[in-house]
Chains A and B, each alone.
Chain A
Amino acid sequence: MALLEVDNVHSYYGNIHALKGISLTVEKGEIVTLIGANGAGKSTTLKTISGIVRPRLGSVRLAGEDLSAFPAHEIVGKGLSQVPEGRGVFARLTVMENLEMGAYIRDDAKQIATDIERVFNIFPRLKERQKQVAGTLSGGEQQMLAMGRAMLARPKVLLLDEPSMGLAPILVEGIFDTIQAINEEGTTVLLVEQNALMALQIAHRGYVIQTGEIVLQDDAKALQKNEMVQKAYLGVD
């Protein structure tokens, strides 16, 4: 049994059929990436998993438990923590306050403090700026903050929605290195990306989504060599 199982999920925005039967699995300890073009339904898939969008059909199971009965805020407590697209840090709160908000569902103050230290070890930059208002951080720092904050919920699976979006190329590599580091520390990651090149380099497995349907799935290595992926997403012709 996989840690996260998405089974034949159909999601709608009004009449728009955004997900047309998506199935995917994430095993414990993996980095799985979901790649696809703009508007393919990547964010919708993540939102459906975390309960913000409700599927009309199909199910999402975490460690065997069906999540469809739970509202979004309770799903966080079940062990799914999402870094939304465009980061979404609390711009007027400080870095520290943002991190504390990440641990909102927990009440083990001591353990939270050590976890914050852990986040600071991964992102030393945040430690330097812990008293700074988040809105004045650079784009890359905000992304780090959003990821650090999501980790503080101690998720079983960390859901990342296009962490490289809007970042300068030199920073993108750093972000992917950190994702790998987080994963090596033991967090399972479902990574949504348009930047297929980088995502496939760090992921174990990958899925390709097109207009709401999974069209391809394989090991990351194999996908990198796949002709269709190379043409459509890696810019190789």
Chain B
Amino acid sequence: MSVTTLKSGSMLERVLVSGKFAVTSELGPPKSADVETIKEKAACLKGVCDAVNITDNQTAIVRMSSIAAGVLAMREGLEPVIQITCRDRNRLAIQADVLGAYALGIRNILCLSGDHQRFGNHPTSKNVFDMDSIQLVNVLKRMRDDKVFACGDEIRNSKKAPLVAPEIFIGAAANPFGDPFPFCVTRLGKKMRAGADFVQTQCIYDMDRFRRWMEMVRDRGLHEQIYILAGVTPLKSLRMAEHMRDNVAGLSVPDHLIERMKSAADPKEEGEKIAVEQMQELRDIPGVAGIHIMAIEAEKSVAGLAEKAGLLPRPIVD
């Protein structure tokens, strides 16, 4: 594909379009105005992945804004994927932020519904949900491709002024394990048709179910129309494995992994070993375009994992 057909020109887009296997990771902004933490985390991830998700008030806990943290990460040499949830902002605020983010150099945005505020540190707040994540994807696509706002107005300062629209590579999340199961693929199809260029999946432990999901995805030909990055989160302990299995909605951790974590002399090392095996396995599944390593508050471990999984060095694609 020639450079001229790129939608945003982001490194993530270039890697995916060139057919190379992509690697993304995550960086959680600090729960304060502290810049040093971002620098430290960014240093761990630099050169290890093509782009880094910057979470947006993840688990409904107030943190530095994803756009601000994303710009700080960019200064450290990372390419950010700004997450935007529908929980905290309405269509006016989000579109304004998208313009601002683009103006500051951000090229990738990931659209999410957002965890409900009852899980976070402001459970008495009001939520917004003016739109859902699929509608948000479509708003971004129309901003980029049709150069119009959600209301239909053109993105220009006046009738005679030039159109200056945000050229964004649009992402969304996919949960291959959510209920109702057949709807998981429907939802991926809707995200694709709404305009998503790529999705990152929920973290995968149940490889059999993920394979089944990918089969359904391939049956519909969706893998040819949207880039699918498979999510991996290394298990750190038996407790974490059990917590993921029992308390995280829509996540199953198979018994054989629980057993491995139970009998391991060094559970953390075993968890990383499992993650590396998973990444190698995922890479071979047809239709998987990349890996999304989610090691929130364990950014240090990402480089080692990527190295062991044979994902380094990262390519430079012009």
Are A and B subunits of one complex? Answer: no
List residues of chain A with CB under 8 Å of any chain B CB.
none
Instruction: Please list the residues of chain B having a beta carbon within 8 angstroms of any beta carbon in chain A.
Output: none
